[in-house]
């Protein structure tokens, strides 16, 4: 019973970790990100300018999921 509880605790902790993304490119309209084998494209949110978008997601920078979500909140 203790082993099951410990395994569940470890599973919860691993799902709570935020993923860090490396910014590959940012055109001002779209940023391409990768984290290990995972890749995704992020469109510029309408409430910021292309210049701000490039600033927040500069090429070769790193951003975590929480910071990425805050960029899209208005």
Domain coordinates of the chain in residue numbers? 19-72
How confident is the model at residue 8, as a pLDDT? Answer: 54
Compute the distance between CA of residue 56 and CA of residue 53 in angstroms, rounded to an integer: 5
What is the per-residue pLDDT across 24-58, written as a single tens digit (0 to 9) for each? 999 999 999 999 999 999 999 999 999 999 999 99
pTM of the complete model: 0.72
Helix (H) / strand (E) containing 20: strand 20-26
Locus of tokens 């070769």: 60
Confidence band for 3, pLDDT divided at 50, 70 and 90:
low
Which residues 6+ apart lie within 8 Å of 44 measured at CB? 28, 29, 30, 31, 50, 53
* 23, 64 contact by CB (below 8 A): no
- Positive or negative, the Cα torsion across 23, 42, 73, 28? positive
């Amino acid at each position: 019973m203790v082993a099951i509880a410990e395994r569940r605790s470890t599973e919860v902790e691993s799902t709570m970790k935020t993923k860090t993304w490396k910014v590959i490119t940012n055109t001002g309209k779209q940023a391409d990100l990768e984290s290990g084998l995972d890749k995704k494209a992020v469109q510029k949110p309408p409430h910021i300018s292309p210049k701000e978008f490039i600033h927040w997601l500069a090429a070769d920078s790193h951003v975590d999921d929480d910071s990425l979500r805050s960029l899209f909140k208005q």
